[in-house]
Amino acid sequence: MRTLCVDIDGVLTRDWKSMDFENRRPHKTNIARLADVYATGMVQVVLWTARPGSIRKQTVKWLEDNNVSYHELWMDKPSFVAIVDDRSMTSVPTAKQLTELRGWDLV
């Protein structure tokens, strides 16, 4: 099964600059798009966030409160410019390309 990794802050939330993780505003359009992808059963949805593992419980609660569909939650994502991976099924798209081609609205 293929895996789709999705960031939380700035993709599933409208806010990403403050450390107030529990009160982030949900990005309802992107959450709905993710639910559609999840419902196909064709990919494993992994949420991969830079949030620290120490707030995992709060993160899971936010995801539950906002009806986010996912299979796994990975915490402590490192900061990077791009990921180079020999197993990737796509090239590295820009935020603009994702917005235009996939309908995602990125902060």
| Mean pLDDT over the full length of the chain | 82
Output the pLDDT for position 46.
94
Residue 58 pLDDT > 60, yes or no? yes
How sure is the predictor about 43, in pLDDT bands with cuts at 50, 70 and 90? Answer: confident
Q: Which residues contact 27 (CB under 8 A, 6 or more apart)?
A: 11, 12, 13, 14, 105, 107
Q: Which residues contact 57 (CB under 8 A, 6 or more apart)?
A: none
Q: How many C-beta atoms lie closer than 10 Å to residue 45's C-beta?
A: 18
- Residue 35 tokens read as 């639910």
Between 40 and 57, name the one with better pLDDT: 57
Provide mean pLDDT across the span 50-58: 94
Give the number of C-alpha atoms closer than 13 A to the C-alpha of residue 39, restricted to the C-beta side.
8
Between 85 and 1, name the one with better pLDDT: 1
